[in-house]
Amino acid sequence: MSGRIIQFGTSRFLQAHVALFLHEARQAGQDVGPITIVQASNSRANSGRLSAFGQPDGYPVILRGLEDGRPVERHIAVTSTDRGLSAVQDWAELHSLFRHEAAYVVSNMGDTGYDVPESDRDGRLLGGHVPSSFPGKLTALLHSRWLAGGMPITILPCELLNRNGQVLRDTILDLATGAHAPGAFLAWLRERVIWADTLVDRIVSEALEPAGAIAEPYALWVIEQRPGLVLPCQHPAIQLAEELEPFERLKLHILNLGHTVLADIWQHEHRLQGETVREILADPAIRARLEAVYREEVLPGFTRHGMASEAGTYVATTFDRFLNPFLNHRIADIAQNHRTKVERRIASFLDWVGTSRHATPVLDGVLARSQDKAQA
């Protein structure tokens, strides 16, 4: 058995991503440890959801979308979770599980999930009370595990943050140092805890109550190799990679870049306010323009970096995701923080390709319009 997985975060994303993968691995006969889902916040609002995670019949996940251009719909009862805990109300039980049973930690705490208040930055952090922040709670739990003998553990963060494992490790080390933790504990954190960088990708469009989710069929979880790392299970959507950068480039410069090109068209041509990605691509002329951008401006850049095959496959998959008939992805939402997204998705692509690159008139135009607006 792989050992218990402690999952911090009750979000619909993890319900239809990591927990679903582990469920399918168990259904395929793999000896995969159960998941304990932990509500890390101090809110009392999710008690019904926490109870639902312990139901023997599981919770529902519905996969709806396109695969190879054909509509699919699958209903799954996910049974990989055996309980839901509140970090605040069930701190003693969580402590016991973490000290003696946990083999993996998974987290998805949102954009501000690694923020730490001043109340967690003093010597009381390891004093037995429940810290306020997720990093504070994880530091205290790791310290408790170290005191109990220090069995190795693997941390697999899923926050949408570059080098998430390294960032979380450095945050925990900083907190432990500030709490005057023993040097042996700091050494254990560095040497016996595996902090893996990961990349996650799946659109989970709707939550079900009290637990469950509706998601697209496409899913990916890339975990960067570390010495001693053993995956929690084998699954087609989980890939162990020597480095994350190629996967990050595909997502950023194809999926995300395509969204930003459509947002530029939507803004510049004053299209309907509530238009979705699927609706704008129902216009044959718009779809042809995006296909041309991928074919003539994006794919040559990936070819230059030896990624022609992977990029071609990813473009085809991206169109399936864009045209998902069950997903209402509003372009107005994509257009938020447009200038920052242009810099990250388009300007960085042009820098990656290099100054002697092929012609990129559409991408150059999007970049120029964004810069002109910034100077206006």
Among candidate residues 200, 217, 241, the one where a domain is terminated: 241
CATH number at residue 316: 1.10.1040.10
**Residue 262 and residue 226 in one domain:** no
* Closest listed residue to residue 7, CA positions, set 137, 82, 105, 80: 105
DSSP assignment of 283-323, as one string?
SHHHHHHHHHIIIIIIHHHHHHTT-HHHHHHHHHHHHHHHT
Q: Collapsing DSSP states into helix, strand and coil, what is residue 46?
A: coil
**Residue 187 and residue 293 in one domain:** no
**Residue 263 and residue 196 in one domain:** no
Contact between 169 and 224 (Cβ < 8 Å): no
**Residue 141 and residue 57 in one domain:** yes
Q: Collapsing DSSP states into helix, strand and coil, what is residue 215?
A: strand
Task: Report mean pLDDT in 10-residue bins for the chain, 376 residues.
Answer: 87 94 96 93 73 92 87 95 93 94 93 86 83 95 95 94 93 95 97 96 88 93 96 96 93 94 96 94 97 97 95 94 86 90 92 85 94 75
So what's the pLDDT on residue 342? 93
**Residue 249 and residue 235 in one domain:** no
- Number of domains making up the chain: 2
CATH number at residue 134: 3.40.50.720
So what's the pLDDT on residue 327? 80
So what's the pLDDT on residue 105? 98
Among candidate residues 209, 241, 273, the one where a domain is terminated: 241
Give the domain range for residue 37.
4-241
So what's the pLDDT on residue 375? 72
**Residue 234 and residue 260 in one domain:** no
So what's the pLDDT on residue 158? 94
**Residue 255 and residue 237 in one domain:** no
Q: What is the radius of gyration, based on Cα positions, of the chain? A: 22
So what's the pLDDT on residue 96? 93
**Residue 266 and residue 197 in one domain:** no
**Residue 82 and residue 197 in one domain:** yes
**Residue 195 and residue 77 in one domain:** yes
Among candidate residues 219, 241, 263, the one where a domain is terminated: 241
Q: pTM above the 0.75 mark?
A: yes
CB-neighbour burial class of residue 88 (10 A; exposed 0-12, middle 13-18, buried 19+): middle
Q: Which long-range contacts (CB under 8 A, 24 or more apart) does 355-361 make?
A: 357/300, 357/301, 357/304, 358/296, 358/297, 358/300, 358/301, 359/296, 359/297, 360/297, 361/297
* Closest listed residue to residue 226, CA positions, set 151, 142, 165, 158: 165
**Residue 115 and residue 205 in one domain:** yes
* Closest listed residue to residue 346, CA positions, set 364, 330, 333: 364
**Residue 153 and residue 199 in one domain:** yes
